[in-house]
Amino acid sequence: MFFIDKLDLKKEQEFLIVGLFEDEGLAFNGSELENSDWIGHIQDFISTGDISPQKKEVSIIHTFNKTGPKRLLFVGLGKKQDVTTELIREAFGKACKTLKAKQAATGAIYLDSFATENFDAKRLAHIFAEALALSTYTFNGYKTNKKEQSKLESITIYTDLAPESLKDDLNSGYVYGTATNSARTLVNTPANFLTATDLANYAIRLAEKYGFAVEILEKADCEKLGMGAFLAVNQGSDQPPKLIVLKYQGKQEWKDVIGLVGKGITFDTGGYSLKPRDGMVGMKTDMGGAAAVLGAMEIIGERKPKQNVLAVIPATDNMVSGKAFKPDDVITSLSGKTIEVLNTDAEGRLVLADAVTYAKQLGANYLIDVATLTGGVIVALGSDKTGAMTNNEDLYTKVFVASKQTDEMIWQLPITEKDKEKVRNSKIADLNNSPSREGHAIMGGAFIGEFAEDTPWVHLDIAGTSVVKANTDLCPAGATGVMVRTLATFVNEF
């Protein structure tokens, strides 16, 4: 896929991608050019505005066989001092999408032309490979008259660095991107093709590929253990529940275990607290947390960090039938705590309650749960920020730093003692699962926190960030695979 070489404008390529800063013009770092007059013409195009250095502006110039590449694809980067990882990643993404739209089979990028004091070629290599995978992703779907998708077969990376120094960065970036795409595909898959059993089978295949220990708890296993909260959500379904467990041991001893818990509701009708018609469309994506955890485990399997990681995914759908759980029911969780059900559409926190408890029983010393939990987080933060809550600021800081590196923005919401009191306010049980619509996202987090207890824990509500409605530079409309890269970065640097 990737070839690394010194810049050579005599080599044939369909496209050569070049970065262009507002305050620098065209610079090839002293490389010998085949035709200096031709390069002068390019400088003229820049000065007249035919080639733009404005942020993420793409300009394509045909070389008329005056040099090896048939076309030069310039990407504007704005002012050098203003460049961020987000801008670089999106600029790379826009360039790669352009190559795909032009049905290019081969391409090249002059990586050094994107370099700044803060971004050397090694860092740029990871970001470029990641952006290449993210931006060219498509979900093929189920149309019978599918068009053949063109595929970019190879990219040559031009840099002054030695090839060996970039190989690992390119590989890691591409792994991060493709694992995120794996999560996107899971979320984009319709619920009739992705039941709890299908999700469990996917996890088993992942375990076989990477040597993870795997455990799939069946309904009878969950009943024996007393997972009343998880099983209550499954009551109305004809599909059996699956409690999915993956273990990666990167240390000699099973200690300092990072627990990743992902909500795996494969379809959410809301149960007897039934969603409206329009609100039910798209609920195949309610397993976005599970997909994020599985995507992160794919990166962990590929990169093999020296950490111990436990993944726990409660998988079921939330359906309506004569067997379904109801408002006013009281259920007993795996922890022994009883829960008064006030809203069957607040089911995610119920399955996570038992999953968090089970992760602790299996030795998790730190917990991060990821869930498309509440519409309230979208009201509070919009669709570009993941809501975060925690009982441990040190752990949260590490997650936040990882999210900054991946540009998957998170924003912390508070959990106060009054919030906890609301969750504990029931005349007939220890907890209630839906105190009010006020602070709805916080109520969901506070409920899960009752089961994390004293274990350091971070809750990530991705209800707003798990899908996008329109195409972006890095993602087509649909699932984003959000938090895959953040979780993997967190594990790698923990």
Residue-wise burial string across 383-422, b where 16 or more C-beta atoms lie within 10 A, e elsewhere? eebbbbbbbbeebbebbbebbeebbbbbeebebeeebbeb
User: Which of the residues are catalytic?
Assistant: 275, 349
**Per-residue confidence at 32, pLDDT binned at 50, 70, 90?**
very low
At 15, give phi and psi (nearest 5°): -140, 145
Q: For residue range 184-209, list pLDDT tens digits in order.
A: 999 999 999 999 999 999 999 999 99
Burial class (CB in 10 A: 0-12, 13-18, 19+), 260: buried
Amino acid in position 326: K
Looking at residue 240, its amino acid is: P
Report DSSP state, residue 235.
Answer: T
Query: Structure pTM?
Result: 0.96
Q: Where are the domains of the chain?
A: 2-161, 190-493
Q: What is the CATH number of domain 2-161?
A: 3.40.220.10
Phi, psi of 379, deg, nearest 5: -60, -40
φ/ψ region of 141 (left if φ > 0, alpha if ψ in -120 to 50, else beta) reads: left
Lowest mean pLDDT, pick from 57-61, 90-94, 306-310, 395-399: 57-61
CA-based nearest residue to 76, from 46, 96, 106: 46
No. of H helices and E strands in the chain? 15, 20
Which of these CATH numbers, 3.40.50.300, 3.40.50.2300, 3.30.1600.10, 3.40.630.10, describes 190-493? 3.40.630.10
Closest by alpha carbon to 19, among 128, 101, 122? 128
- pLDDT value for 181: 98
pLDDT, position 379: 96
What is the per-residue pLDDT across 250-303, written as a single tens digit (0 to 9) for each? 999 999 999 999 999 999 999 999 999 999 999 999 999 999 999 999 999 999
Burial class (CB in 10 A: 0-12, 13-18, 19+), 96: buried
Single out the residue of 277, 428, 252 nearest to residue 340, CA to CA: 428
Work out the number of other CB atoms within 10 angstroms of the CB of residue 256: 12
| Distance separating alpha carbons of residues 125 and 140, to the nearest angstrom | 28
* Listed range (72-86, 317-331, 350-364) with the worst mean pLDDT: 72-86
Q: What residue type is assigned to position 365 of the chain?
A: N
Residue 330 φ then ψ, to 5°: -120, 130
For 120-148, how does the pLDDT look when each residue is reduced to its tens digit (9 = 90+)? 999 999 999 999 999 999 998 998 887 77
Matching fold, domains 2-161 and 190-493: no
